[in-house]
């Protein structure tokens, strides 16, 4: 009874074989389908919990479980360490995802979760934008130009007919390399640097994906966006950490990915519960009911939802299995006699004892 281990190399091989555009499209299709049938009472998804560290480095290690019914229990463990890039040349987010067989508890698969996280976060914003952004959207603004900005923009290019990109990062070096990191995905786009408030005033869709420190948000001053502007607020994921001015939230239809969690650690922290709009899955289930919002200010409050990881992992497992990728290891002890914990260790133990 083996465990399939998909390393970063395997995950990226999937991406190379399938193609990043096709992978993003397939993921958006799967997520949309999962949201369309999601009912909270069928699929328990507890809020993520975690440990917050102040030393040796400021950071979080969190676990995000999702109780799949038919398929698998998925648990993502994600580290969030804003100093990783500067101190260790490591990504801010390091994560792995594991899938367990609900029938036996067997660990079926463990895989790198870094690309998966970036992809599903981009896909969720694109699904929200397809429903809430103005159909005539041409200009996307990016506040925060790190790893998440790449998949935000990539995903948006798959659902909107974009022409212009405005980009800002507090770190000039990160801002300067953004075009190169977008590669051919941005070939048909003009990409221009601009300060945050200019981005907010000019763009049709704005993605905030920053590592703003707790208590230091929002990441732009309240200003007058386009009347139809849609925001994907991606970075807010901890109590006290917010990116969008509360005054703007109050003028907007605010749609969380996962309401309970967004109230605790998303932009929704800044709002009373009754001021929060439908969740993304409710938008997907009733698109006509919320079409009016395409002409109004809207905010997708993306805290990161375990259902997204669950769906994305299922897709990667399918592709990897089809392609014969991954390493299979017999991780768990399966003695011939399940009542004999020492069977596998006993051969020599008898002579030792």
328-347: which residues touch a second copy (CB under 8 A)? Answer: 329-347
Binding positions for a second copy, 42-61, rule CB under 8 A: 44, 46, 49, 51, 53, 56-57, 59, 61
Nearer to a second copy, 92 or 137 (CB): 92
When asked if residue 208 is in the footprint of a second copy (CB under 8 A), the reply is: no
Only one of the segments 29-37, 84-92, 243-251, 280-288 lies at the binding site for a second copy (rule: CB under 8 A); that segment is 84-92
Residue 273 makes contact with a second copy by CB under 8 A:
no
Instruction: Assess 298 for contact with a second copy (CB under 8 A).
Output: no
Q: Please select the residue that binds a second copy; options are 112, 257, 265, 309, rule is CB under 8 A.
A: 112
Identity of the residue, 95 or 252, whose beta carbon is nearer to a second copy in the bound complex:
95
327-329 sheet: strands from edge to edge: 49-53, 59-67, 73-80, 93-100, 107-112, 3-6, 327-329
Q: Shortest CA distance to 139 belongs to which of 207, 236, 208?
A: 207
Q: How far is CA 216 from the centre of its chain?
A: 22
Whichever of 126 and 297 has its CB closer to a second copy, that residue is: 126
CA 126 to chain centre: 11
Out of 27, 34, 118, 283, the residue judged to bind a second copy by CB under 8 A? 118
**Run of H or E residues at 26:** helix 20-37
CB of 272 to a second copy, least distance (A): 28
Q: Which two tokens stand for residue 108?
A: 């079926």
Shortest spacing between CB 21 and a second copy, in angstroms? 5
* Sheet hosting strand 253-256, strand order edge to edge: 190-193, 164-168, 139-143, 205-208, 230-233, 298-301, 253-256
CA of residue 205 relative to chain centroid, distance: 18
Map tokens 């990539």 to a residue: 154
Find the binding residues for a second copy in span 9-28 (CB under 8 A): 9, 11-12, 15-17, 19-22
In the complex with a second copy, the residue whose CB is nearer, 63 or 202, is 63
Using CB under 8 A as the binding rule, whether residue 82 contacts a second copy is answered as no
Q: Name which position in 31, 34, 98, 313 contacts a second copy (CB under 8 A).
A: 98
Separation CA 37–CA 285 (nearest Å): 8
Radius of gyration of the CA atoms of the chain, in A: 21
Task: Give the C-alpha separation, 320 to 326, whole Å.
Answer: 7
Angle at which helix 20-37 crosses helix 8-18, to 10 degrees, equals 100
Binder among 36, 37, 40, 104 for a second copy (CB under 8 A): 104
In the complex with a second copy, which residue's Cβ is closer, 209 or 249? 209
Omega within 30 of 0 (cis) for the link into 316 = no
- Per CB under 8 A, which of residues 311..330 are in contact with a second copy? 327, 329-330
By CB atoms closer than 10 A (0-12, 13-18, 19+), residue 256 is: buried
- 3-state secondary structure at position 93: strand
Q: Count residues contacting a second copy (CB under 8 A)?
A: 98
- Give least dist CB 142 to a second copy, A: 12
Residue 346 CB, nearest approach to a second copy (Å): 6
The nearer residue to a second copy, 114 or 298, going by C-beta atoms, is: 114
Q: Give the one residue of 4, 34, 110, 263 binding a second copy; rule: CB under 8 A.
A: 110
Distance from C-alpha of 34 to C-alpha of 212, rounded to nearest angstrom: 31
What the block records as the tokens of 290 is 């919320």
Segment 167 to 206, residues that bind a second copy, using CB under 8 A: 174, 177, 181, 183-185
| Smallest distance from a second copy to CB 252, Å | 28
């Amino acid at each position: 009874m083996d465990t399939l281990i998909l390393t970063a190399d395997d995950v990226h091989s999937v991406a190379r074989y399938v193609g990043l555009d096709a992978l993003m499209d397939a993921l958006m299709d799967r997520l949309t389908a999962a949201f369309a049938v999601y009912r909270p009472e069928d699929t328990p998804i507890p809020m993520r919990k975690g440990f917050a560290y102040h030393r040796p480095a400021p950071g979080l290690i969190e676990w995000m479980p999702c109780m799949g019914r038919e398929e698998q229990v998925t648990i993502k463990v994600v580290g969030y360490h804003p100093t990783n890039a500067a101190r260790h040349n490591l990504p801010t987010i390091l994560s792995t995802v594991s899938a367990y067989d609900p029938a036996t508890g067997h660990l079926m698969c463990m895989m790198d979760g870094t690309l998966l996280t970036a992809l599903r976060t981009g896909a969720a914003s694109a699904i929200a934008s397809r429903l809430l952004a103005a159909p005539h959207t041409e200009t996307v603004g990016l506040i925060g130009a790190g790893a998440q900005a790449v998949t935000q923009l990539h995903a948006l290019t798959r659902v909107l007919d974009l022409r212009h990109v405005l980009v800002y990062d507090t770190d000039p070096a990160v801002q300067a390399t953004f075009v190169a990191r977008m590669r051919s995905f941005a070939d048909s786009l003009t990409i221009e640097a601009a300060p945050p408030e200019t981005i907010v005033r000019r763009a049709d869709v704005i993605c905030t994906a920053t590592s703003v420190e707790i208590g230091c948000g929002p990441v732009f001053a309240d200003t007058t966006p386009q009347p139809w502007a849609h925001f994907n607020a991606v970075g807010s994921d901890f109590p006290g950490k917010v990116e969008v001015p509360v005054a703007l939230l109050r003028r907007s239809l605010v749609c969380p990915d996962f309401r309970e969690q967004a109230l605790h650690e998303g932009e929704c922290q800044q709002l009373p519960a009754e001021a929060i709009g439908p969740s993304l899955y409710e938008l997907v289930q009733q698109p006509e009911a919320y079409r009016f919002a395409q002409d109004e200010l809207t905010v997708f409050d993306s805290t990161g939802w375990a259902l997204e990881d669950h769906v994305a992992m299922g897709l990667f497992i399918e592709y990897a299995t089809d392609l014969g990728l991954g390493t299979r290891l017999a991780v768990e002890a399966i003695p011939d006699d399940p009542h004999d914990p020492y069977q596998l260790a006993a051969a020599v133990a008898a002579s030792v004892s």
